[in-house]
């Protein structure tokens, strides 16, 4: 069983929550979200916002703060082989309600199908903000080009 190795990124004024499933091995080693060099998350968000792609954790947290974006994952702990979503077993869900109590989140976006399925299974409550599943930025989602992801993800910063 692997326990999620870092805290959610949230500020008191965060309005948007982006949820992944569970950090990749590269993200776990780096200690921050979407740390795999081939994951397109930071590139896509930067292009959607018209900014340069943040590279360092400091640049990434500054970007998130500017755009009032919180990040977390739907899984608190699980069994996983490497970084494969398909291998996820024995899920313990994260406390999304607790995070929502700490900021005025108005919209939730799930990065990929697994995050969306697990959110619906474990997190859906009547008072939750609306949730939308957006195609995964993972390199495993090779059917989506960066341009196609940008079109899908552009709803976040509208």
If you ran DSSP here, which 8-state letter would residue 32 be given?
Answer: S
Asked, for residue 31, whether it belongs to a domain, the answer is yes
pTM, to two decimals: 0.94
Asked, for residue 12, whether it belongs to a domain, the answer is yes
Count CA within 13 A, CB hemisphere, residue 37: 0
* Count of structural domains, the chain: 1
Looking up residue 41, the CATH number of its domain turns out to be 3.40.470.10
Nearest to 155 by CA among 99, 110, 97: 110
Point out the residues of the chain with pLDDT beneath 70.
Answer: 83
Asked, for residue 95, whether it belongs to a domain, the answer is yes
Question: Tens digit of pLDDT for each residue in 83-92?
Answer: 677 778 799 9
| pLDDT computed for residue 39 by the predictor | 95
Mean of all residue pLDDT scores within the chain: 93
Provide CB contacts within 8 A for 142, sequence distance 6+.
none
Asked, for residue 158, whether it belongs to a domain, the answer is no
Range of the domain at 23: 2-153
Place of tokens 């390199």: 139
């Amino acid at each position: 069983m692997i326990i999620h190795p870092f805290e959610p990124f949230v500020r008191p004024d965060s309005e948007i929550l982006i949820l992944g499933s569970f950090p990749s091995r590269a993200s776990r080693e780096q200690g921050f979200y979407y740390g795999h060099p081939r994951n397109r998350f930071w590139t896509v968000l930067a292009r959607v916002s018209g900014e340069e792609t943040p590279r360092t954790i400091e640049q990434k947290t500054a970007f998130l703060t500017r755009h009032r974006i919180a990040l977390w994952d739907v899984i608190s702990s699980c069994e996983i082989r490497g970084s494969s979503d398909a291998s996820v077993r024995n899920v313990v869900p994260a406390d999304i309600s607790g995070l929502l109590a700490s900021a005025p989140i108005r919209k939730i976006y799930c990065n990929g199908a697994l995050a969306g399925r697990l959110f619906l299974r474990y997190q859906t409550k009547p008072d939750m903000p609306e949730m939308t599943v957006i195609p995964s930025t993972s390199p495993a989602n090779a059917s989506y080009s960066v341009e196609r992801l940008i079109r899908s993800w552009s709803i976040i910063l509208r």
